[in-house]
A = this chain, B = another copy of it.
Amino acid sequence: MNNLLNSINKTLLMGPGPSSVSPEVYTALHKPTIGHLDPKFLKIMDHIKIMLRTLLKTDNELTLPISGTGSAAMEACFVNLIEPPDSILIIENGYFGLRMIDMATRLNENVDTMKFEWGKVIDINMINDKLKQKKYNIVAVVHAETSTGVLNPIAEIAKLIPDDTLFIVDAVTSFGTVDINVDKWNIDAIYSCSQKGLSCPPGASPISFSDRAIYKLKNRKSKVPNWYLDLSMIINYWGGNSRVYHHTAPINMMYALYQGLCNVIEEGHDNVISRHLEAHKNLKLKLDALGISFLVDEKYRIPSLNSVIIPEGINDLVVRSTLLNDYNIEIGGGLGPLAGKIWRIGLMGHTARKENIDKLISALSIIL
């Protein structure tokens, strides 16, 4: 039988994720698998927690990776914290805001939504008004909307959230690429993924819960309606002395995550964030020269996810498949109403380097 894995070439991943995996992470990934209760593995788990807290700027005890991809971490936040008849507000200006609504409405009928145009930033005054009109148990919003390239102003929204309302933030694309300050911003639940800022393969996804969120979790009247993501049990495996087995952790993915976090800390968190911003500016300059413009206003752009308007007369699919087949470069297309209208150029983690931008621009120049 012909082994299909032999056809896998190194691809420069400049889409919305996964990003290109760093060499150190590949090395970590195929370290020998050991048991999920092996003391050496428990020590790695402890250090993953410590590094996550450092990078998220939080003292939250409940800070750990979920054994799934980013959407599992999103669901972990909703399913542990929502208990009907909660009133929930979801602020939506993109595909992943819609995903939040879909998840939350499966758990609870009382979900209000505030919808803003895709590609535009959310309107802080309208949110302020809404929060004055009605009391919510939970407010949720996406920080960096991967579908549009908009960076929502979490620090400003945070100031509007009442003390007795839990604030859930999606940091899937922002974590490790822009600054996040969980404790200063009073975020109660935040989640991300491994395959963007951390440059690991997908499969292990950080979350962090504040003490207020833990209080709500521990005082639920009903069990969490999701066994695999039930944090009231998972914390007994990830913390304390007893280390009660819950499910078998994805060992090698945790090695990768450990290494991805080490990489950021060794380079310096601030340096990593600056590198993303520099890469973004560099890309912008070169796209300007090609006459390609951005979808999003300059001050609301995510440095790590650049949504650009496909020039008129250009065939989206032909360009992307030529990039992939002839140059081994992946960029992303648009989602939903933006399909065929934008490209999403990721500069995340290990990908966010000048030489990668040069490769993409050189290829694009020839193709266009």
Stretch of A39-47, A206-214, A270-278, A358-366 contacting B (4+ beta carbons < 8 Å): A39-47
Let me know if A5 and B28 touch, CB within 8 A.
yes
* Contact between A29 and B250, CB atoms less than 8 A apart: no
> Does B32 lie within 8 Å of A21, measured CB to CB?
yes
Kindly state whether residue A266 has any CB partner on chain B within 8 Å: yes
Neighbour of A38 across the interface among B29, B32, B34, B324, CB < 8 A: B324
Determine if A259 and B5 form an interchain contact, defined as CB atoms under 8 angstroms apart: yes
- Cβ of A299 within 8 Å of any chain B Cβ, yes or no, is no
Whether the Cβ atoms of A225 and B106 lie closer than 8 Å is yes
Q: Which of A115-123, A127-135, A195-203, A290-298 contacts B (4 or more CB under 8 A)?
A: A195-203
Report Cα–Cα, A253/B40, bound state, in Å: 22
Cβ of A286 under 8 Å from chain B: no
Contact B21 A227 (CB under 8 A): no
Least Cβ–Cβ distance between A143 and chain B, in angstroms: 18
**Is A253 touching B255 in the complex (CB atoms < 8 A)?**
no
Query: Contact: B248 with A18, CB < 8 Å?
Result: yes
**Could you say which residues of chain B place their CB within 8 Å of the CB of A26?**
30
A242 near B: Cβ within 8 Å? no
Flag if A266 contacts B1 (CB, 8 Å): yes
User: Complex formed: what's the CA distance from A89 to B99 in Å?
Assistant: 33
Beta-carbon nearest neighbor of A230 in chain B: B106
**Are A35 and B8 interface neighbours, CB within 8 A?**
no
Contact B47 A35 (CB under 8 A): no
- Asked if A223 CB lies within 8 Å of chain B CBs, one says yes
Stretch at the interface among A9-17, A150-158, A181-189: A9-17
Minimal beta-carbon separation of A342 from chain B (angstroms): 15
- Given A67-B69, A67-B203, A71-B227, are A265 and B35 neighbors across the interface (CB < 8 Å)? no
> How many A residues, CB 8 Å from partner?
76
- Chain B residues in 8 Å Cβ range of A8: 31-32, 34, 40, 255
> How many copies of this chain?
2
Q: A30-B26, A103-B227, A253-B250 are in contact. Are A35 and B9 (CB under 8 A)?
A: no
Chain B contacts for A13, CB-based, 8 A? 33-35
Kindly list chain B residues whose C-beta atoms are within 8 Å of the C-beta of A179: none
Residue from the list B203, B223, B248, B335 in contact with A253, Cβ < 8 A: B203
- CA of A75 to CA of B20, assembled, Å: 32
Interface residue? A70 (CB, 8 A): yes
A201 touches B250 (CB 8 A): yes
CB of A308 within 8 A of chain B? no
Give the B-binding residues of A (Cβ under 8 A).
1, 3-5, 7-11, 13, 15, 17-18, 20-21, 26-36, 38, 40, 43-44, 47, 67-72, 74-75, 79, 99, 102-103, 105-107, 193, 195, 201-203, 223-229, 245-253, 255, 258-259, 262, 265-266, 324, 330, 335
In addition to A75-B228, A107-B225, 17 A-B residue pairs with Cβ atoms within 8 Å of each other are A5-B44, A7-B40, A8-B32, A8-B255, A17-B248, A30-B30, A35-B330, A68-B68, A68-B228, A69-B247, A69-B249, A69-B250, A79-B226, A99-B227, A202-B251, A203-B250, A253-B253
**Which 8 residue pairs of A and B lie closest in terms of their CB atoms, listed nearest first?**
A203-B250, A71-B247, A201-B252, A10-B32, A30-B30, A103-B227, A202-B248, A26-B30
